[in-house]
Amino acid sequence: MIVKEEFLSNLRRAFDLNLYEVRIWTALLSRGVSTAGELSDIGNVPRSRAYDVLESLEKKGFVVMKLGKPIKYIAVEPKEVVERAKKLVKVDADDNLKKLESLKGTPILKELDLLHKQGIEFIDVTDLSGAIRGRHNLYTHLETMIKKAEKNITIMTTAKGLVRKVDALKPELERLAKKGIKIRIAAPITKESSAAVKDLSKIAEIRNVNKINARFCVIDGKELMFMVKDDEEVHPTYDIGVWISTPFFASALGNMFDLAWKDMQPLDKVKI
């Protein structure tokens, strides 16, 4: 059996399998029914490992052991394997969520908080900064920043960025708006972003900006994150943001935003 390595690599990533598992599985798919020894030869897997690998695949729902002797294995239809894999991922995810949720209020988390507080005392202000890579990580960190807001949140973004923020940040922004946190968002209001504007306008004051192309967020005039690349020109994987906890710079940027805010178009003046 000749299977391209690239194909095997894609299967490994998609189904979270190791190299021996994916070789045995594809070997069995090519045969339908086969013994461990035959699959070992076809898939180029050591015979000493074949039974362990098949047992693992059986537990995951990829194969079924056939009754009788010699012991043979039957390949499960790929469409059914996908459904079983989805259920397995959900079960694992739910278990992991429960484990993490159970840490709240425990001595373990209290000890971790204590270590963090002690460590912060020795950190120089200039050390409270960092580069964050990848759009997923950017939004995860942005959500963490927003959760700590006590007075106001200032956001400047692009039309596409506004759409993304509805998906990633709307629940948290809604929660903060109910607490009375002032939220202002400046972004180009276009047909592309009009639905996002409608969603966010219920919880934030939004104004149209055309002359300034920037992506940043300032929290309480103390903490900020700004993206260093144009989202039209960078792949999400390579997007980069800089996070800084500095009242001096954050408040200065906030003051400049206040001046620009006065000249931005309110929603009732915007024609899409």
CA distance 130 to 135: 15
- Which pLDDT does position 89 carry in this prediction? 84
Asked if 186 and 261 touch (Cβ cutoff 8 Å), the reply is yes
pLDDT digits (tens, 9 = 90+) for 202-244: 999 999 998 889 999 999 999 999 999 999 999 999 999 999 8
Q: What percentage of the chain reaches a pLDDT higher than 70? A: 93
Q: How many CB atoms lie within 10 A of CB 144?
A: 11
Region at 15 (left for phi over 0; alpha for psi -120 to 50; beta for the rest)? alpha
Q: Which residue has the tokens 């002032």?
A: 182
pLDDT digits (tens, 9 = 90+) for 147-192: 989 999 999 999 999 999 998 999 999 999 999 999 999 999 998 8
The H-assigned helical ranges of the chain are: 5-15, 19-31, 36-43, 47-59, 78-101, 107-120, 135-147, 159-178, 194-200, 247-263
Q: Sort strands 223-227 and 216-219 into parallel, antiparallel or unpaired.
A: antiparallel
CA distance 42 to 48: 14
Give pTM, 2 decimals: 0.60
**Domain map (residue ranges) of the chain:** 5-94, 123-269
CATH number of 5-94: 1.10.10.10
Structure tokens at 231: 């989202």
The pLDDT-based confidence of 125 (bands split at 50, 70, 90) is: very low
Lowest mean pLDDT among 104-118, 126-140, 164-178, 245-259: 104-118
Q: Which residue has the tokens 């200039």?
A: 126
117 vs 251 pLDDT, higher one: 251
Q: Which of 92, 21, 91, 93 is nearest to 63 (CA)?
A: 21
Q: Domain 123-269, what fold?
A: Endonuclease; Chain A (3.30.870)
- Give how far Cα 178 sits from Cα of 22, 167, 174, 203, 218, Å: 50, 19, 6, 8, 19
Q: At 71, give phi and psi (nearest 5°).
A: -65, 125
- Sequence-distant (6+) residues with CB within 8 A of 173 are 146, 153, 165, 183, 200, 203, 204
